Amino acid sequence: MAPPTILRKRKAATRDVPESSDVESDAEFGDGLLEGILSQSEDSENDSAEEGSEEEEDEEEDDEELSGLDSDEIPSDEDEEMDDENGGLVKNNGTKADEKDSNVAQPAAEDDEDKPNYRVTTDANGGVRYEYDEIDPVYDSDDSDAPVTTNTIGNIPLSFYDSYPHIGYDINGKKIMRPAKGEALDALLDSIEVPKGWTGLTDPATGKPLNLSQEELEILRRIQANEVPEEGYDPYPATVEYFTGIEEVMPLSAAPEPKRRFLPSKHEAKRVMKIVRAIREGRILPYRPPEEREEEEDEEVHYDIWQDEQPRPEHVMNIPAPKMAPPGYDLSYNPPPEYLPTKAEKQAWESTDPEDREKEYLPTGYDSLRKVPAYDRFIKERFERSLDLYLAPRVRKNRLNIDPASLLPKLPRPEELKPFPTVCSTLFRGHEGRVRSLALDPSGTWLASGGDDGTVRVWEASTGRQIWSAKIGDEDAVDAVRWRPGREAVILSAAAGEDIYLIVPPIMDPETETISRELVDAGFGYATNATQPLTANGQRKDPVAKWARPGSRLEDEGVLLKITVRTTVKVISWHRRGDFFSTVSPTAQRSAVAIHTLSKHLTQIPFRRLPGLPQTVQFHPSRPLFFVATQRTIRSYDLQKQELVKIIQPGARWISSFDIHPGGDNLIVGSYDRRLLWHDLDLSTRPYKTMRFHQKAIRAVKYHKGGFPLFADASDDGSLQIFHGKVVGDMMENATIVPVKVLKGHKVKNALGVMDIDWHPREPWCVSAGADGTCRLWM
């Protein structure tokens, strides 16, 4: 309950009050008195306004109490404010300390005049005990803001008292007992005789049954009704206009009321008369029924909006909406029977998603007009059309309304492109394992081939008969077979492992054979006479290659010379004069490309360092240029000036082979990434045409060197493709490239198809070497 706690508080607060007042009340009495007066007057006003119904005695006491309480705290607020606002008002208040003192002193001064508000009794121990009256806190008292604790235990859990018969102590130190737990009979009696304000609830704080008074119930009702709990509270009081509603004792102006306040307005009278006259004359009607207005609205206005029409040119950006397509035959209610869908078509139409359907309707035939039902998508279609009209982005599209055939380029007729090889005429069987390389001799009579079995074989090209064969590689495969150019001698070069063999096969007439043997042997002696390059420490440098006789067994067979280099040779390429040939051994670091001079038995390494792995090399057919293909680029070097001329970039990832057109200005490149690229050396370093007609990597490409505008490539997919590639002498005209033939015949073995290809020197025939162990002549 409220009173005891307040008492306790009061006790605490006022304990030192008498002392302080005693000490300092006299010192600055006047000031303190003034303060006290101010606070008292305020308090009394408040009190009088709010608690009119309370008893007078209480009022007096309360006043005193409150003034004491208030003076305790309110001024502290005030002085803070004063500190902030006007530090200069010191003359009113004196010093801060003074003020405080005076506050404290004031109640004491009052108390002195009044009787003490406590009784002195003896407590349990026989000591002096002050007993105070209970304080009824009015609404304004500060304590009402604090949460009302209804028991005296303070802020400890109620459960501490669970084992005791009481809850807390009263101000006099007596136990506040729990109400006795009623017996069943008592409870029954209670339930029969419901006391006023009985709720049936138990106050958890006190453990007593919770009874509510009439006022409290009334407050609850108002809260439930969403009203302000306080009775008689007006949330919307009528505003009191300050200047008009409150009559000032001292008015702002002392001027007497003007005369016009007491005279009727002439102007108003005039205006009123005007209206009166108008009403009398019927010019204005005092009342008009509103229905008339609606009726008069209904009339529509029709006029010719295009009376003075002027044509306006269409705006450039205007795109008129396309018209709806006119109906076709299939939309007829009675279409020709061929337009009616078959069962399968109907099913297909029904099974497709409505959005994917080509037509949103199914042609249906009715044998008479009366059987035609309503079209169920009519509104939907019109709505969609409306949406299209205002929501669909419009764009002008140029429709190519031409015959597609006119787009096709004009190509020469295949008859004009003839001759080119079309059929396989001869099959060369004999190799075991793949045939890795093959070459037709400059006369076109003999075909040399070398393969995995380590043999070099020479065949008669027209018949397919094997004429000569020699096993040069013991365990190495023959990687390259090339004839020396020139008709006066017949020399075959073959590479197996690190060795290059020069062979004069005993197949020709003796004269040619002797010339050939002389040519091969002419170089002996040069190597020994030549000054050998010395290494840094003065020792003789190891020769790059060793030129020697291969041994008597091979010599008997016609293999005359063996050149041993450091790493496996993959490619041999002859200079057109027949004195030089170049070899490539891609795995070698520095000595990958070697140029051999037949007449001097000399081997040179032209490149100290190469960017990338060299793949293949070629001599230019007419000029002293040397082409080296690395994985990605082809570099052309001038052999005389010994400088780099051009870097050709075909754009392929891994070049497999390339060939130079006999004219010298064009180049074809084959790559492992299935591209065949035609380069025009005069045009650009980039390819002029890229052809990708193979399924697998391209192994070899070759131009026809004998006057036919043909070239061919061989691929791992087992096919050769023959192209017609005409180079015109005119610089202005680009080469025409026409694919003409796919030659299929080689079988694909271990993902390898055709390994090498060569053209006949005069006829439009070509030979190919297959991974299936055969060579084929196509004509």
Partner 1 sequence: MARIKKKGESGQAKNFITRTQAVRKLQVSLPDFRKLCIWKGIYPREPRNKKKASKTSNAATTFYYTKDIQYLLHEPLLKKFREQKALEKKISKALGRGDAHDAQRLERNASRPEKTGKTKYTLDHVIRERYPTFIDALRDLDDCLSMLFLFANLPSTPTVPAKMIARCERLCLEFQHYLIVSNSLRKSFLSIKGIYYQATIQGQDILWLVPYRFNQRVTGDVDFRIMGTFVEFYQTLLGFVNFRLYTSIGLVYPPKFDKNRDDQGAELGAFSLEANGVGIIEQPKQITNGPSKPDPKLQAEIDKLMLQLNEPEKEPAAEQTVANDEEEEQPTDTIDKFEPVAPGGDILPQPSYSATDPSTLFSNFTFFLSRETPRQPIEFILRAFGCKRIGWDAVLGDGAYTHNELDPSITHQIVDRPPIQVDAESEKEVEDNQTAQRLKPGSRVPGRIYVQPQWIWDSVNDEELKRPDLYAPGAQLPPHLSPFVKKVRGQYDPSAPLNEQEREGEELEADIQEPKLLTEMEVDATAEGMDVAGSEDESGASDEEADNFAGFSDAEEEEEEEDEATAAAKQRQRELEAELSGVALKENDVDPRAKAKADARKKAAKKAKEEEEELERAKMMMSRKKRKILEKMVYSNKKKDAEAETLRAKRRKIEKSGKAAPRA
Q: Tell me whether residue 287 or residue 378 sits nearer to partner 1 (CB atom).
A: 378
Q: Which is nearer to partner 1, 647 or 751 (CB)?
A: 751
Give the strands of the sheet with 634-638, arranged side by side. Answer: 614-619, 625-630, 634-638, 643-648
- Smallest distance, partner 1 to C-beta of residue 427, A: 15
Decide whether 147 or 286 has the Cβ nearer to partner 1: 286
Q: Does 357 bind partner 1 (CB under 8 A)?
A: no
The DSSP call for residue 298 is: T
**The one segment of 64-72, 256-264, 361-369, 563-571 that binds partner 1 by CB under 8 A:** 361-369
| Contact of 693 with 705, CB cutoff 8 Å | no
Binding mask 742-761 for partner 1 (x = CB under 8 A): xx------------------
Is residue 564 within 8 A of residue 545, CB to CB? The reply is yes
- Compute the least distance from the CB of residue 398 to partner 1, in Å: 12
Chain centroid to CA 634: how far? Answer: 41
Binding mask 690-729 for partner 1 (x = CB under 8 A): -xxxxx-------------------------xx-------
| Single residue of 48, 172, 334, 514 touching partner 1 by CB under 8 A | 334
Tell me whether residue 309 or residue 355 sits nearer to partner 1 (CB atom): 309
Residues from 181 through 240 that contact partner 1 (CB under 8 A): none
Residue (439 or 737) nearer to partner 1, CB: 737
Give the interface size with partner 1 as a residue count (CB under 8 A): 89
By C-beta, is 7 or 677 nearer to partner 1? Answer: 677
Task: Looking at residues 371 to 410 of the shown chain, list those that interact with partner 1 (rule: CB under 8 A).
Answer: 372-383, 385-387, 389-395, 400, 404, 407-409
Which residues within the stretch 108-147 sit at the binding site for partner 1 (CB under 8 A)? none
Which single residue is written with the structure tokens 């101000």? 171
Binding of residue 605 to partner 1 (CB under 8 A) = no
Site for partner 1 in 273-292 (CB under 8 A): 290
Nearest to partner 1 of 348, 530 (CB atom): 348
Task: Dig out the tokens for 762 from the structure.
Answer: 């005069």
27 binds partner 1 (CB under 8 A): no
Please provide the DSSP assignment of 464-524 as one string: --EEEEEE--SSS-EEEEEEPS-SS---EEEEETTEEEEE--TTS-HHHHHHHHHHHHTTT
| CA 558 to the chain's CA centroid | 71
**Would you state the structure tokens that stand for residue 259, as one six-digit string?**
């005369």
CB of 294 to partner 1, least distance (A): 8
The pair of structure tokens assigned to 108 is 């004491």
Q: What is the CA radius of gyration of the chain?
A: 62
Residue among 185 and 317 whose Cβ is closer to partner 1: 317
Can you read off the two tokens belonging to residue 326? 């006119």
Query: Which one-letter amino acid corresponds to residue 328?
Result: G
* In the complex, least distance from residue 749 CB atom to partner 1, rounded to whole angstroms: 21
Nearer to partner 1, 181 or 293 (CB): 293
Q: Minimum CB separation from partner 1 for residue 638, in Å?
A: 35
Torsion of CA 414, 417, 420, 422, to 10 degrees: 0
3-state secondary structure of 178: coil
Q: Name which of residues 658 to 677 contact partner 1 (CB under 8 A).
A: 674
DSSP code of 157? -
* Nearer to partner 1 among residue 578 and residue 687 (C-beta): 687
DSSP string, 53-98: SS-HHHHHHHHHHHHHHHHHHHHHHHHHHHHHH-TTTHHHH--HHH
Spatial distance between the Cα atoms of 77 and 83, rounded to a whole number of angstroms: 10
Q: Where are the beta strands (DSSP E) in 620-759?
A: 625-630, 634-638, 643-648, 655-660, 666-671, 676-680, 689-691, 698-703, 710-715, 719-726, 736-744, 754-759
* Residue 291-330 contact track with partner 1, rule CB under 8 A, x = bound: --x---xx-x-xxxxx--xxxx----x-xxx-xx-xxxx-
